[in-house]
Every structure is written in C-alpha cells, then in structure tokens.
C-alpha cells in the first residue's frame, strides 16, 4: 500500500472501529457508513483491505489490547482517548499480525494523530509504538500461562474471560483448548446464488471468469469461496443482487424449512434478513413472508436489500416479536 494513501486508509479503519464501539453497529454496517463518506480514488482502492482490517482487529482485539496494555505499563487502553486507542490497535495489528515494517506502521499512525488529535501527543504515541514493536508476545504468553491458564486462553485465542471459564467448566480444559483452536481457523466465505435472478452454475462460471475459485457445497444454491484476488462485493453481479454472501449454516435453515411457493411464513427477529431473503427465493416470490423485527433501522436496511434482490413476497413489520400479533392469520 503506497504511503500517500495509507493515512486516509487508517482513518477509514479507525472511524469504522469507533462506530462499532460508540454506536454499537456491526462491523459491516460501520464500514458501510464510512465508505459512504469516503471520497477519492486512493480511498476507493483501500476498501477491500479495510474490510479485512476491521474484521480481523475485532476478532483479535483481546490479544491486541493485551499487547498495548503491556506496553503502557500501569495504565490501560480504557484510560486513553477512544480514537487514539483504535489507532494503536491498527498499528499493533499491522506490526504483530500483518508484519508491516514497524517504521511504516508507526509513521502512518503518527500522521493521523497529528491530523485528527492533539499534536502534542505525537511523542507519546511514537514512544508507545516503539514499545509495542519490541514487545515479545510469545514470552509474555508463556509467563501468563504459568500464572493464570484461563487468562492465557482468553488472550491467546482472543475470547472473553467469562466465555473461557464457561467452556472450561462445561468441557474441561483440554477440550476447551481444542475448541478455541478450531474457532480461530481462517474464516470460510460462502456465496448464495439468488435464484430469483440466476442459478448456481451460472454464478460459478461468472466468478471463475473474475478469478474467484469456488467449490460446490451440500447446499445446492451455495458456493464456497476458495481463492480470490478481488473481493466479491466489488463485482457487478453482487451490486445487481444476483448473489449474496451468506454463511453455510444460515443457508441450511431455509432448506430445512423447505418452503413451497404460496406458503405463508412468519419470521420473527428477521433482521438482518439473510434467511428471509433465502426463503423468499425458494418460494419463487409466491405466497407471503411476514418479517418482524424490533429494530426499525435494521428493517429499513432489509427494505433496501429486498429491492436489490428483486423480492416481492416479504412484508416488513416493525414490532417486538415477543408480543407480536397479526390479524391476518398468524
């Protein structure tokens, strides 16, 4: 990544991470908001990488914060300005996870600090980034394991302490370790053909032409993404709603339900809508799905997606699913 747009890139990632914390948005929706505000050719080139940064920093946040807290020596990330904390997380992630040259990572963070925060804090950040660079995470984890095995698991696998303790109580220590190792395998990506607009064979051919290698799955309308250079969300077919990104487990649900054209289906807590949209496609846009959710904003995002996907048999209802009553048959 060229230095001339690294600063703008780091601002995008820090802005998204801040929205996740302050507004309690999902990483996906935080990135969408940031991208709407972003302008310029160089920022556009960084969109795909920004996705990876935000999701990976959120995934490894406990481990990243452990490194920063160790470098702070006495205080913690909670004592710092929240935006500065997110910049430090980005710098730590680059140095210890992506192996970006420390001088390059530090320079980019310092530039954003000077531009967005108190200029006088640049010296402090520079010294802290130097300590983060020199921090020996493996040595620190070895010491932590001898002192507190639950905390060691929490940091090493970046899971909340309460969750680690719960799993140890439930499965035992050795089984917990095996589970956490499985949890942190590289994420698998799946795409579902929107059968209202295309079929899985045509989608596979299209993705292959774009340099995306895929494999069939047990779910007939879902492909597993094996290798790609360009994020699939950048493709025209994605923007046209011919396919969506959907987890395999989520896609199983619609097929287990096995809806038929003409059915009436009630979907409570429907947002963000992946299963709703899938069921609508399996029903061939015939019949009706009443999709209920407590969040008005999430329903509005569903409405936008419904238009893109060409869905016509979903009725959105803003209500609490626990007390929902419908006078039309449910």
Non-local CB neighbours of 307 within 8 Å, separated by 6+ positions? none
Worst-scoring range by mean pLDDT, 42-46, 63-67, 87-91, 172-176? Answer: 42-46
Bridge partners of 225, per DSSP, are 189, 214
Residue 44 has pLDDT above 60, yes or no: no
Mean pLDDT of 138-149: 95
Nearest Cα neighbor of 284 from 310, 250, 248 is 310
Burial of 31 (0-12, 13-18, 19+ CB in 10 A): buried
CB 191 within 8 A of CB 244: yes
Q: Report how far residue 52's alpha carbon sits from residue 36's, in angstroms, rounded to the nearest whole number.
A: 18
What is the side-by-side strand order in the sheet with 243-245?
213-216, 222-227, 189-193, 243-245
Domain residue limits, the chain: 3-134, 137-183, 189-251, 259-318
Q: How many CB atoms lie within 10 A of CB 178?
A: 11
CATH code that applies to domain 3-134 = 1.10.940.10
CATH homologous superfamily of 189-251 equals: Sun protein; domain 3 (3.30.70.1170)
pTM beyond 0.85, yes or no = no
Nearest Cα neighbor of 91 from 16, 2, 6, 186 is 6
Residue 240 confidence (pLDDT): 97
205: its two tokens: 């051919």
Residue 3 has pLDDT above 70, yes or no: no
Summarised one tens digit per residue, pLDDT across range 304-316 is 999 999 999 999 9
Q: Report how far residue 227's alpha carbon sits from residue 216's, in angstroms, rounded to the nearest whole number.
A: 14
Worst-scoring range by mean pLDDT, 14-28, 73-87, 178-192? Answer: 178-192
CATH domain 259-318 topology? Rossmann fold (3.40.50)
């Amino acid at each position: 990544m060229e230095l001339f747009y690294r600063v703008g890139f780091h601002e995008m990632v820090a802005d998204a991470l801040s929205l996740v914390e302050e507004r309690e948005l999902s990483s996906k929706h935080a990135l969408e908001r940031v991208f709407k505000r972003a302008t310029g050719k160089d920022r556009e080139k960084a969109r795909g990488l920004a996705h990876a940064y935000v999701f990976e920093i959120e995934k490894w946040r406990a481990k990243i914060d452990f490194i920063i807290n160790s470098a702070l020596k006495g205080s913690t990330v909670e004592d710092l300005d929240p935006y500065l904390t997110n910049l430090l997380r980005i710098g730590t992630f680059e140095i210890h996870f992506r192996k970006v040259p420390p001088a390059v990572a530090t320079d980019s963070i310092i530039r954003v600090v000077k531009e967005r925060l108190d200029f006088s804090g640049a010296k402090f950040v520079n010294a802290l980034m130097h300590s983060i660079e020199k921090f020996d995470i493996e040595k620190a984890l070895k010491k932590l394991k001898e002192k507190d095995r639950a905390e060691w698991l929490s940091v090493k696998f970046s899971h909340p302490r309460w969750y680690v303790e719960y799993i140890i109580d439930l499965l035992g220590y050795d089984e917990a370790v095996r589970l956490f190792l499985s949890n942190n395998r590289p994420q698998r990506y799946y795409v579902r053909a929107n059968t209202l607009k295309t079929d899985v064979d045509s989608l596979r051919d299209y993705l292959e032409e774009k340099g995306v290698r895929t494999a069939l799955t047990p779910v007939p309308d879902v492909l597993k993404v094996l290798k790609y250079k360009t994020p699939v969300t950048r493709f025209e077919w994605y923007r046209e709603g011919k396919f969506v990104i959907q987890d395999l487990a989520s896609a199983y649900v619609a097929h287990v339900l096995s809806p038929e054209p003409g059915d009436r289906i009630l979907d409570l807590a429907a947002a963000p809508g992946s299963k709703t949209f899938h069921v609508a496609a399996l029903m061939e846009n015939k019949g009706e799905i009443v999709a209920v959710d407590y969040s008005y904003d999430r329903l509005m995002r569903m409405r936008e997606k419904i238009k893109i996907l060409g869905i016509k048999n979903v009725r959105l209802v803003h209500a609490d699913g626990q007390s929902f009553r419908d006078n039309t048959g449910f």
